[in-house]
Amino acid sequence: MAHSPLSRAAETASIVWAGNARANENKNDNNKGKSKILPVVPLYSLREIDLHSLQGLLKGEGLSGRHAAAYAAWKSNPEGFEIDGKAPVRDLWERARAEAWPELASNLVSSSDSDSSSSSPPRFLVVAHSSFNQALVSVALGLPPRAFRRIVQSNGCVTELELRAAPFSPSSSSSSSTSSPSATVLRLNVGPRPPLKPSGGGVALVVLVSLEPGGGERSGSSRSSPSLAKALFGNDEDHDDDSAGRTEDKSGFRLPADAPIVLANPSSLATAAAAVEAGFDERSVRKAAAAATTATTPSPPPPLSFWRSAALAASEAPGGYAVAIGSSEDVEEALRESLSDLLVEQGGGKNASSSSSSSLSSFFSAPVGGVSVVEVSSASVAAGVFEGTIRCANWRRRATGGGEGAKKEVERASAASAA
């Protein structure tokens, strides 16, 4: 495990690693008591973004006085923001690419060599910071600095990457350079609950749900109980207050019951049946399926993609939400399309998106039963711009809740996360 040298990250790392040590001890009880605990490595390259003259100021101090213009620029155009002769976001991307990933890769190889008896792929846990983690994940996916604030990294949440190749290019000196993704996102910004709480300001949320046609939430022979829909809409007992009487989200926010449903394949009875089996309202599912058969115009316009249909439904819904249900492949494609403006930039031009799509086939993983939440601007969607900000990807309903649930999730991740 590697962590930022800042005290808050170091403290979190010590808590996480203590849980991992206990897990290793239990695992090795039947292995002659030989517990192998890999080292904890503080890396200076994992430190948080440096805002220079703005560093350490309260938000109120940034909003007024001599820093007001700089703070406004930081909020409105972080990629282009410059202060004290520095470009914090672009510098952060360069640090992730040229320093952090090479150091992490080196430690990952060392850890793998030191445990050559293991047949499982090497795993490494990183404890860092919100802004830095955005850069670390984005560089692994080949996304440019403009991806800042488009891939959310919240405090205490877990992101898991499956690395396919070294996610850096030491020969390149340009911080804006990008390459094909060298990682697949298995989970992104996952905590005890999906981040469904509205943020206001004309923001709408698309809740993407992966279901297997004809299989509900089933994966193999297992099924979730209570239903996935109950976790999103109703009072899920598995997410009640923790033992200390605290609640992770005091509002216990769930989706409004009248949130529209969008089906990736409205004409598929199997998809509709899977949605009903997973607990979604049958009338709402039937309404979504019927929408595909009501067009009577002689020359209907070309159908919107699954992602665009869902974003449009969310932006037009009174509550600002839409639940979009499809197969794993449908959801994976929707997540990619929500970042399509960044992927086009990656491919080198407006005509590059189709040629880039094949190399992005494993950009996100969306197994059956997973929930992803993507934020869109209602005004932008109305103007035909369908850019999304991914709040989380592949959240799965677990029997954990509140602070204790977060602790268990992080302890589990310390033994299972690839990054």
Q: pLDDT by residue for the chain (419 residues), tens digit each?
A: 899 999 999 998 888 887 665 555 555 555 554 445 567 889 999 999 999 999 988 877 777 788 899 999 999 999 999 999 999 999 999 999 999 999 998 877 666 655 555 667 778 899 999 999 999 999 999 999 999 999 999 998 999 999 887 665 544 444 444 455 688 999 999 998 889 988 878 999 999 999 976 554 444 433 433 478 888 886 544 444 333 333 334 445 788 888 899 999 887 788 888 888 888 888 888 888 887 665 555 555 668 899 999 999 999 998 899 999 999 999 999 999 999 999 766 554 444 444 344 444 468 999 999 999 999 999 999 999 999 999 999 998 764 343 444 455 555 555 444 33
CA 169 remoteness from chain centre: 24
Half-sphere exposure at residue 281, Cβ-oriented, CA atoms within 13 angstroms:
16
Structure confidence at residue 245 (pLDDT)? 31
For residue 156, which of 136, 185, 127 has the smallest C-alpha distance?
Answer: 127
CATH code that applies to domain 2-50+86-192+402-416: 3.40.50
Backbone Cα Rg of the chain: 22
Sign of CA dihedral 406, 99, 49, 203: negative
Phi, psi (rounded to 5 degrees) for 413: -65, -30
For residue 339, which of 56, 87, 103, 137 has the smallest C-alpha distance?
Answer: 137
Structure confidence at residue 200 (pLDDT)? 79
Q: Report the chain's terminal Cα–Cα distance, integer Å.
A: 9
**Model confidence pLDDT, tens digit, residues 313-363:** 999 998 899 999 999 999 999 999 999 999 766 554 444 444 344 444 468
Q: Enumerate the domain spans of the chain.
A: 2-50+86-192+402-416, 203-395
C-alpha 357/C-alpha 400 separation (Å) is 36
List residues bridging with 377 in a β-sheet. Answer: 203
Structure confidence at residue 35 (pLDDT)? 46
Amino acid letter, 135:
A
Query: Assign residue 362 a region: left if phi > 0, alpha if psi is -120 to 50, beta otherwise?
Result: alpha
Residue with tokens 């406004």: 72
| Residue 272 burial (CB count, 10 A) | 22
C-alpha 366/C-alpha 359 separation (Å) is 17
Structure confidence at residue 31 (pLDDT)? 52
Structure confidence at residue 393 (pLDDT)? 96
Contact (CB, 8 A) for 196 and 255? yes
- Cα-Cα-Cα-Cα torsion 212, 217, 218, 219, nearest 10 degrees, comes to 80
